[in-house]
Structure 1
């Protein structure tokens, strides 16, 4: 089973049903609730002519709300300024992700999973409006046309709102006619995001914005080491802080309740807690890296193999034997995890920017001790995620539920993680070690490749282990490195070790591809250099897929790779990778910065993600992925020190890319008629190896450890 299939299987196990609806854009709520024309779960047409798209995915900045609105508007032939969005209720039968079987989004699936569903929804609404007009005017439907939100036949015209009530009584077409691509009006063109205005004028609601009557604020003091528990709490100093109301133990630590978040966080810091460390993770990062590195020297469980890698390597004329080290990484979204939970009848109302709406509500209600059928999720915008809002055990939501329950639901409880809690609380990208042995034969061709990957499994030890691990193999760990990856290598073996640690780990933007792409693309680059081959031409000769070759050619073309003189003191590095069914190639122009680290001047990026629903969003996601990936490649590292305590407690130590360090980025989108594929994550994997390959040209040193700032690569 592939890693994507594993994630889908995990999500399919989180079924349930709760009821709730929040409409974030000004009058959209009342309009949608009273709209006469509701042909399906996704489209509402009001008598005022406004079209509300019921959006089933979380919107945390990656643009799916605009994407699905674009698809529906195009099939309806609506005017762009009449489109609105609303967040869907947590309802699996209506709003499940078709790839997962339950509500939620991940694996860059929002648009690729919604593509046909949204087209059908928009086309059905259009067909009903056309039929209503045809009946009103006594003409055949074929004589009626729609453009820019106006239905017409000859000189007769009507807006959507005028026809909504008539259309509402008509049967809903089950197989409406879809447009051919040459008729698209919005798809493939750039339009402002539907949430740009509310996010600019402050009307967009985030959980941070929620204020309820009588609401109290909670902050959680968590253990200093993962796996530690509370022995004894002395709360006197905390309770002496003005605004602090109460202190309660909860399973993950100690909750402090106050009149505002600042008082709650000060109270949590003032607690005197005696921790039981007997079952805690007390190893340092250095100790774990040593254990992982030792494991990488042994074959591990075989993931897959072809040919005889051992024999080929034994006979190889020249070889590489390299060990790669990747640290724990935090996600660091601007909005930390936050929830507001209030009692509502026999259930609860939960305010959140939930990524897995039904599964998370089911887990929250379980901890709260209330029926999820009687509870309501009020979905809000979320200020980023990068995987952080997608924990298999729904930890942050259940911690908030524990806080509300410990308080006896006496008032609405708002739980906001401090930045320190966010960075030291775990759910990191797993620490990972790779060992690769690869060699060339006498003719300079790749003779063999043997790779071992060592990390903690994201799925092992969770309720979804059986779904995420098949035959002892965690697909998330090896995606992008296995035999389905992009190069033709005849003698190949891949092994895996699943390690144990109490440090919680989680999907991180582009998951396993964040490290497998780096290893694959830097080793390939070294082998090509060893064989005296051009980095682009050599890759083109090895690539399995024409779409991968297409983006590589395009990135080379727009960057002038090998065709132009590069400024003195600079070098170009290239990488290409497929992830989430999309293909991305990047060329980075790099020099040695004043701090001794890579200074990236420009990145040329080519992406093939099928039909480009909104090119501007695709470019933005590539740019964002490049910035996110580059910042972590240069600086990102969560370190466990003595006693297993996390050293990076805020952004002063967990360094992000600064605006002045962001390179110029040029993005070319390959024209395609393939169905849309992922864009939220595929921009991340190629940037680090592209920079590392340029760095090796500049310095003569291959990069074996990230981040660059660790100091081993200069």
Structure 2
């Protein structure tokens, strides 16, 4: 029984329309209002009595509205627990519902737009949801106090029951709901002392979606079936940057079930009554591609050009400049024994279990979408540009998604835009489901960037870095950001910039250069840390080995010098739990790595052996400092999943181009970690009173260097390129 509270900003004013039209035209106005206000023009801002994050049903059941998508990471449990803790709701009766697309209300506070990424779901919602839960709790307390004529300070709430001990009276949320809904929520509700938490931090915080995903009730895009719905598939150019020169649809239209064939900006779409007809129709298409502007180089040639840039064989220019991202001291005056290393990292596919797909309806001045939207605000913006309407008026029903690892969050909303273009051509609000095959998904992009690092370190008398020269060559992920491209693309250097190893080094010269390459790139789970962690940690082990020091003791000395207490704490915890001071099991060798990303610090110790020359990873001991642990069970699950994902990429992952065309288009050629190859992952959480920090990504970048360091201990040889297992 949520009495509706009308927003003072319902409907679009003339000023809203002018601002919205400017945005649709591609210009983000600065100073007129916040980006969230602007991007939400035309959106519905009416919510119930308990605000935009909480709904309470007549039977007292609590529904938490999540502004973050659930695509496997399990954040809905933690988000719901934050509300339930402050509300003192009965956890067994708490449900989670996906929020509508509305950037003004549901913006990620780290992004300024509605979206899930950067391991920020729990962290950016922490204060927001605590206040929402505490405000709702205060409303029930005030309602009970008024009804019972009792002091509010004497009223308690537990498991959705409000009670007054002195008088022996009690009432459920259901019984008090009509009165509580009339109470004005406090602007600054009193929050619990974390010491009083009874739900947060316990193993009771388990996933709320397991049953629905097990019995098929959970809705994914492929589950959407609407009356009169069409299915579309798109023929894409074989090389990035290619365009349609001409096409012959005659044979495609002969396929039973094919309805129409359309040219769209990214290729040629076949629209049919079912998936099979769309696939057969696409196979029958004859398309001539204009590849004048296409990327035709092989990945080896692109990598060679990176080497030339790093070695100054190809000089920088006014358009292609080196950018300093860390500098201190005079590198020209650095002396001492030098260690020089060069690292290469391939393109990587995201390889989500669910390929990209989307359902769209366009017509009568409306646009409705249903799919796993990772950044609804950007998807609204790109849809609005295509159909010519206010971004906030674009309706998005965000469904469950079978993974993303960053793939569903790109500035162009590529597969979404395709679906909208097709639905616009179909018109009449007739629903269209766009289906990408696995081959479409693997070949069309986006990819973790191809990357090259060079490092030159001089050593002091004790074998520690006296100077550190670092060069990074990679494409920019941030190029084309609708919010403007920053001066420095932090995603390319995070994990190197600010590293405790650089803080402990007296002289540092670290620079980045980002050439334009015609291959679409994007963040891949843990983003820059996927390569920076490997470079920093594998380099440190080589330096420790050269100095004749234990790699953990070597790190301890550097962390102490840098004041990196959190790094030191996770390292010590992992070393203790792994039994570093004792010999590894017979036949196994241990490797260690530590890295900070997304506000959290992770240490891993991996036990590795070689089987027929191939690394086999057994036990992995993980220690993490992620602030206050909302859901220890989910943190452990994310460490397990992130470790396996990172191990898969480090051991086997690579996407290569031959004359500009992707060579690996399915799992027969793009090898991933199998169940039988997955390690046993143990997770230990450093107790902390700090606010929560990231969990979804920080476990991914650490396993690669931990394994490489174990291999270094086994063979004495460094591994300066990935994948570690060569095809």
TM class by shorter chain equals over 0.9
Deviations 1:493-535 (A, max 9, x none): 1111111111101011111011001000000110011011111
Q: Is the CA contact (8 Å cut-off) linking 2:363 and 2:429 kept in structure 1?
A: no
Q: Is the CA contact (8 Å cut-off) linking 1:149 and 1:159 kept in structure 2?
A: yes
- 2:39 alignment partner, one of 10, 15, 18: 15
Aligned residue in 2 for 1:575: 593
Q: Is the CA contact (8 Å cut-off) linking 1:151 and 1:160 kept in structure 2?
A: yes
Deviations 1:172-224 (A, max 9, x none): 11111111112111100123211112112211111111111000000011000
Equivalent-residue separation in structure 1 for 2:662 and 2:605 (angstroms): 35
Equivalent-residue separation in structure 2 for 1:589 and 1:651 (angstroms): 27
- 1:520 alignment partner, one of 527, 536, 558: 536
Equivalent-residue separation in structure 1 for 2:329 and 2:618 (angstroms): 42
Aligned residue in 2 for 1:91: 102
- 2:330 alignment partner, one of 281, 304, 308: 308
Aligned residue in 2 for 1:168: 181
How far apart are residue 308 of structure 1 and its match?
2.2
Aligned residue in 1 for 2:640: 623
2:80 pairs with 1:80: no
Deviations 1:435-464 (A, max 9, x none): 111121233221211110001111224544
- 1:458 alignment partner, one of 477, 484, 490: 477
List aligned pairs for 1:150-169, cutoff 5 A. Answer: 150-154=161-165, 155-169=168-182
2:626 pairs with 1:606: no
- 1:699 alignment partner, one of 715, 719, 722: 715
Structure 2 counterpart SS, 1:710: coil
Structure 2 counterpart SS, 1:686: helix
The alpha-carbon distance between structure 1 residues 14 and 229, as it changes in their structure 2 partners (threshold 3 A), is farther
- 2:368 alignment partner, one of 349, 352, 373: 349
Aligned residue in 1 for 2:196: 183
Equivalent-residue separation in structure 1 for 2:305 and 2:666 (angstroms): 28
Aligned residue in 1 for 2:57: 46
Equivalent-residue separation in structure 2 for 1:214 and 1:507 (angstroms): 37
- 1:480 alignment partner, one of 471, 482, 495: 495
Task: Select between 230-239 and 100-109 the one with higher mean Cα deviation.
Answer: 230-239
Aligned residue in 2 for 1:689: 705
Task: Select between 547-556 and 566-575 the one with higher mean Cα deviation.
Answer: 566-575
Q: Is the CA contact (8 Å cut-off) linking 2:55 and 2:63 kept in structure 1?
A: yes
How far apart are residue 697 of structure 1 and its match?
1.1
List aligned pairs for 1:144-543, cutoff 5 A. Answer: 144-154=155-165, 155-190=168-203, 191-298=205-312, 300-312=322-334, 315-317=335-337, 319-343=338-362, 345-409=364-428, 411-464=430-483, 467-470=484-487, 473-485=488-500, 487=502, 488-543=504-559
2:692 pairs with 1:673: no
Equivalent-residue separation in structure 1 for 2:485 and 2:182 (angstroms): 46
Q: Is the CA contact (8 Å cut-off) linking 1:440 and 1:531 kept in structure 2?
A: no
Equivalent-residue separation in structure 1 for 2:585 and 2:80 (angstroms): 45
The alpha-carbon distance between structure 1 residues 12 and 559, as it changes in their structure 2 partners (threshold 3 A), is farther
The alpha-carbon distance between structure 1 residues 11 and 497, as it changes in their structure 2 partners (threshold 3 A), is farther
Aligned residue in 1 for 2:28: none
How far apart are residue 403 of structure 1 and its match?
1.5
Structure 1 counterpart SS, 2:237: coil
How far apart are residue 160 of structure 1 and its match?
0.4
Q: Is the CA contact (8 Å cut-off) linking 1:438 and 1:449 kept in structure 2?
A: yes
Equivalent-residue separation in structure 1 for 2:640 and 2:444 (angstroms): 28
Aligned residue in 1 for 2:663: 647
How far apart are residue 539 of structure 1 and its match?
0.3
Q: Is the CA contact (8 Å cut-off) linking 2:589 and 2:714 kept in structure 1?
A: yes
Equivalent-residue separation in structure 2 for 1:669 and 1:157 (angstroms): 39
Kindly tell me the number of residue pairs found equivalent between the two proteins.
679
TM-score, normalised with respect to structure 2: 0.91
Equivalent-residue separation in structure 1 for 2:162 and 2:551 (angstroms): 55
Aligned residue in 1 for 2:567: 548
2:606 pairs with 1:588: yes
Gaps of 5+ in 1: 1-9, 22-32
How far apart are residue 96 of structure 1 and its match?
1.2
Equivalent-residue separation in structure 2 for 1:518 and 1:409 (angstroms): 52
Deviations 1:587-643 (A, max 9, x none): 01001123x2211011100000000000000000111000000001111001001x2
Deviations 1:443-488 (A, max 9, x none): 3221211110001111224544xx3331xx3211111111455551
Task: Select between 209-218 and 241-250 the one with higher mean Cα deviation.
Answer: 241-250
How far apart are residue 267 of structure 1 and its match?
2.0
Q: Is the CA contact (8 Å cut-off) linking 2:206 and 2:631 kept in structure 1?
A: no
List aligned pairs for 1:92-107, cutoff 5 A. Answer: 92-107=103-118
Q: Is the CA contact (8 Å cut-off) linking 2:567 and 2:594 kept in structure 1?
A: yes
The alpha-carbon distance between structure 1 residues 329 and 68, as it changes in their structure 2 partners (threshold 3 A), is same
Q: Is the CA contact (8 Å cut-off) linking 1:143 and 1:153 kept in structure 2?
A: yes
Q: Is the CA contact (8 Å cut-off) linking 1:346 and 1:371 kept in structure 2?
A: no
Q: Is the CA contact (8 Å cut-off) linking 2:380 and 2:392 kept in structure 1?
A: no
Equivalent-residue separation in structure 1 for 2:569 and 2:35 (angstroms): 33
Equivalent-residue separation in structure 2 for 1:338 and 1:431 (angstroms): 26
Equivalent-residue separation in structure 2 for 1:406 and 1:107 (angstroms): 35
Task: Select between 434-443 and 158-167 the one with higher mean Cα deviation.
Answer: 434-443
Q: Is the CA contact (8 Å cut-off) linking 1:237 and 1:271 kept in structure 2?
A: yes
Task: Select between 78-87 and 609-618 the one with higher mean Cα deviation.
Answer: 78-87
Deviations 1:409-456 (A, max 9, x none): 462110021111110001111100001111212332212111100011
Task: Select between 443-452 and 500-509 the one with higher mean Cα deviation.
Answer: 443-452
Q: Is the CA contact (8 Å cut-off) linking 1:17 and 1:90 kept in structure 2?
A: no
The alpha-carbon distance between structure 1 residues 11 and 371, as it changes in their structure 2 partners (threshold 3 A), is closer
